[in-house]
Structure 1
Amino acid sequence: MVGELSLEQFLSRYNTEEACADYLFQMKWPEGFVCTRCSHRQYYMTITRRLPLYECARCRYQASLTVGTVMEGSHTALQKWFHAIFLVSQPSPGISATALKKEINVTYKTAWLMLHKIRRAMSEADASVQLSGIVQVHDACYGRPYNPTHFTHAEEHPLLVGVNLNEQKEPTYIKMKLLVEIPREKRINRQEKENFADRYIQSEESQVEFITERLKPRKLKKGYPIFTIAQRWINETFHGIGGRHLQAYLDEFCYRLNRLLQKAPLFGSLIQCCASSKAVSYRTIVGRRKRFKPKQLADLPI
């Protein structure tokens, strides 16, 4: 796996489509080519296309280098994809679609889709890991400053923060998940707690503590300082996010933080999960069938 690289090292190592294709091949087939249909290892390679095409020598099945990755179906150069993944993997401060558009010279629509596809890969990587051992779960609220009135405001987005703690009560892994249903009153109901535990916590041998009352001192909530950093990062880097895509940005923050807590190289781990995550369409990301039109560009979050 590639370690941490400076920008100069990255640009020197991945300065051609061939260099990017070679590394993607290693990520896709770390032990050499394997046909997805018959598991044969011999292949013929077609190099007349923009990217190599691999044909199984036994069953003649043809495999594209980008099939099964976030780059599948994209006409954007691999160099630009690698550059985008590198920029996303930087410890601070992250990158918006507006900034990425300028950095890699693509349209705003392309930059926005690339970032959301990368975030989807991060979300899938996070979904494969469950909290276990000592786990604390508490409430938080993204959006307008908290006002303890009776009902939840439309600009408030309540969520649950789950934190793995070591014996010194220090965070080792964190998840932040929006509630499935927005509560009318400012409290987390029992069903939401159970949903979180069922989906994100290993039930066996886990010591789970729920702190969901807002009147509890925040110093008891081990993940709350991290949540405030996440909220500030989203607001400063992306200038505020609506509820539709908020979970994707929370997942990005958690992915980056968890890799730092695990001392794993961000670029290497991110490009590996992008190489093993299937691409999603614009329609799937936005959750509607309406086609993307130029006049809609101004309405997209950055």
Structure 2
Amino acid sequence: MYLVGKFEHSVNAVQLSALLDITYKTAWRMLNKIRSVLSMESQQIWGEYIEVKHEIFNQQALLSDDRLQKERSVAIIKSVKRDENNCSSSFFAFQLLSRRKQAREVLEHSEQAEILIRLNLGGHSSVDMNPRFQQFQKRNTAGDLVNSGKRTCHPLSVIASNAFSWMKDKFHGIGDKYAQQYMDEYCLRLNASTGAITCAFEHTASLSLQMKH
């Protein structure tokens, strides 16, 4: 838990097996168990303002029917919370979506509602949902969103791109079965850096104790 939470770019099974002098299989199982507890984040983390944006995992550069079938829709969630001193912190999470449509299709209203239910956000009073896979915004020179002007990448799209690049570079590609766990791990260190959680190691240990009970 300490290595997963404290290493800037995490630790993979090959590195862990060497550090602890154990087999690769044992190291992989240990890391898999640690990542599995990170999906236990509860709605108490959610703050006053929630933003949800549609992104694509395993995005393909060359488009064909076969390649488009490999893409998966992901919801990236940003929650802004203020403490008693009126200081704000941002909490991030990913939710891998199961869809019958191609990932690049706009999320339907029923799919949006299902996302909110799965995240325990059904009754939240302030949720901004962006159902389109639209990575760029248009801003004028003052920085306001407009229908024309200079394009800039959406901040949540930047975070998603960084997360997916990390998964590819550090672990040489992740399949659908375990993708959610690796996204959760990425958010562990991201949320520690924003101050949403105080310590990645302590947070993971606390979640593991909750699982035992």
Structure 2 partner of 1:180:
98
Distance 1:165 1:220, change over 3 A: farther
Is 1:105 the counterpart of 2:21 in the alignment?
yes
Aligned counterpart, 2:188: 255
SS in 1 for 2:94: strand
Q: Indicate the residue corresponding to 1:87 in structure 2.
A: 3
Whether 1:133 aligns to 2:52 is no
Alignment of 1:1-302 (within 5 A): 85-124=1-40, 126-129=41-44, 131-146=46-61, 153-165=68-80, 172-184=90-102, 186-187=104-105, 188-204=107-123, 206-215=125-134, 217-218=136-137, 219=152, 221-261=154-194, 262=196, 264-278=198-212
SS in 2 for 1:140: strand
Displacement after TM superposition at 1:129 (Å): 4.0
CA-CA distance at 1:165 after TM superposition: 3.5
Question: How many residues were matched structurally?
Answer: 192
Letter in 2 for 1:155: K
- The 1-side partners of 2:134 and 2:34 are apart by 37
User: Kindly tell me: are residues 151 and 107 of structure 1, through their superposed partners in 2, closer, same or farther at Cα, counting changes over 3 Å?
Assistant: closer
Residues in 1 aligned to 2:115 and 2:67: alpha-carbon distance in whole angstroms: 20
SS in 2 for 1:277: helix
Which TM-score applies when normalising by structure 1? 0.56
Which protein is bigger by CA-based radius of gyration? Answer: 1
The unaligned stretches of length 5 or more in structure 2 are: 83-87, 138-151
One-letter code of the match for 1:96? N
Given that 1:89 and 1:266 are in contact with CA atoms closer than 8 Å, whether structure 2 keeps it comes out as yes
C-alpha displacement of 1:226: 1.0
Residue by residue over 1:32-81, the C-alpha shift from the partner in whole angstroms, topping out at 9 and shown as x without a partner, is: xxxxxxxxxxxxxxxxxxxxxxxxxxxxxxxxxxxxxxxxxxxxxxxxxx
Aligned-residue offset at 1:130: 5.3
Report the residue type matching 1:178 in the other structure. L
Q: C-alpha displacement at 1:151, in angstroms?
A: 8.4
Structure with greater helix percent: 2
RMSD: 2.8
Note the alpha carbon deviations across 1:157-212, whole angstroms, 9 max, x for none: 21111111369xx8701111111224236212222211111121534453211212
SS in 1 for 2:164: helix
- SS of 2:6's partner is coil
**Separation (CA, whole Å) in 1 of partners of 2:153 and 2:81:** 15
| Residues 133 and 164 in structure 1, CA contact (< 8 A), matched pair in contact too | yes
> Is the 8 Å Cα contact of residues 139 and 214 (structure 1) preserved in structure 2?
yes
Structure 1 Cα separation of the partners of residues 176 and 187 of structure 2: 17
Please tell me whether the aligned partners of residues 108 and 131 of structure 2 are also in contact (alpha carbons under 8 angstroms).
no
Change (3 A) 1:235 1:271: same
1:113 deviates by 0.8
Distance, in Å, in 2 between the alignment partners of 1:101 and 1:209 is 43
The 2-side partners of 1:129 and 1:224 are apart by: 25
TM-score between both structures, scaled by the size of structure 2: 0.77
* Structure 1 portions without partners, runs of 5+: 1-84, 280-302
Give the CA deviation at 1:266.
1.9
Report deviation, 1:220: 7.1
CA-to-partner distance for each residue in 1:116-156, whole Å, 9 max, x for gaps?
A: 110111111x2454534221111111114356778872321
